[in-house]
Amino acid sequence: MIAEITHHGRAFRVDLSRPIDLSLPLHAGEPQVRAWWVGPVRMEPVRNGDVEYAVCSGAPVNFRDIHFNPHGHGTHTESVGHIAPEIHPIGDQLKRFFFTAQLISIRPEERRAPDAKIDQVITLEQLRGAVNERPPEALILRTLPQADNSARDWSGTNPTYLQSTATAWLRSIGVKHLLLDLPSVDREEDGGVLAAHHAFWDFPNTIDRERTITELLNIPSAVRDGDFLLELQLPHFMNDAAPSRPVIYALLP
């Protein structure tokens, strides 16, 4: 199925029959990607006395409770409600779900932090050198060297993060959706400052209900950097964050 889109006065064609999934699946138990010291996802049959609602136990249907944390388990998309006193649910934020997108790969730079740790940081200068002259609506960031993200526990590993000046610049050029393969745009331990989140949403100066951040992507290594159409699939989840399924489509010549 071929579709045509227009952005900045330019027309693009995409084949919607060839999606590229950037998400990680949620499933019970291990191994599974997680962060922020959360335990494994639990998916358990509802029990009513001696009755267990699982087909394998003789019930007519499977009927399971699911316990997970959208920020700590798998690919998720968050709103400004992540850092605001009010929730500002992500589930009713988007008015459309297709966006022009650019995928870039960046090798972080080493920087010594105030606590003497050697951090891996994605800088403003690196983004300036990689983002298109005509900025996309969505920027998808792959960190190098690329590692398998499907079963990694990021907790306590001091992952790569973005400079707040970098996310402020993305906001200034009109990027609405920032997607990355890391557990956060901010440093794992920063005393609760969350400078990159604040800069991208310009919070608390404004309540930005247009921009989103999507974390813990799984970008196939075979997918090359370039321009795409992004479909950002979200459940109608009334929380500051929700599990999500970003799907991209290559642009046709």
Instruction: Please spell the DSSP secondary structure of 174-213, one letter per residue.
Output: T--EEEESSS-SS-SSSTT--HHHHHHHTTTT---SS-EE
Tens-digit pLDDT profile for residues 184-222? 999 999 999 999 999 999 999 999 999 999 999 999 999
Lowest mean pLDDT among 19-23, 50-54, 164-168: 50-54
Tens-digit pLDDT profile for residues 84-97? 999 999 999 999 99
Q: Where are the domains of the chain?
A: 2-30+70-252
* Domain 2-30+70-252 CATH superfamily: Putative cyclase (3.50.30.50)
How many Å apart are CA 180 and CA 202, to the nearest integer? 19
Residue 46 DSSP SS3: coil
Please report which confidence band the pLDDT of residue 55 belongs to, taking 50, 70 and 90 as the band edges: very high
Residue 175 CB contacts under 8 Å (≥ 6 apart), including other chains: 131, 135, 136, 137, 138, 139, 211
Please report which confidence band the pLDDT of residue 56 belongs to, taking 50, 70 and 90 as the band edges: very high
Q: Which of 247, 252, 248, 243 is nearest to 71 (CA)?
A: 243
Sign for the CA dihedral angle at 90, 244, 201, 198 comes to positive
| Mean pLDDT along residues 65-89 | 97
Strands (E), 9-55: 10-15, 20-21, 42-45, 47-48, 51-52
* Residue 130: CB atoms within 10 Å: 15
Cβ atoms of residues 105 and 142 within 8 Å: yes
| Mean pLDDT along residues 149-170 | 95
Q: Is the pTM of this model over 0.85?
A: yes
Please report which confidence band the pLDDT of residue 115 belongs to, taking 50, 70 and 90 as the band edges: confident
Q: What is the pLDDT of residue 148?
A: 81
* Helix intervals (H) in the chain: 124-130, 164-172, 195-201
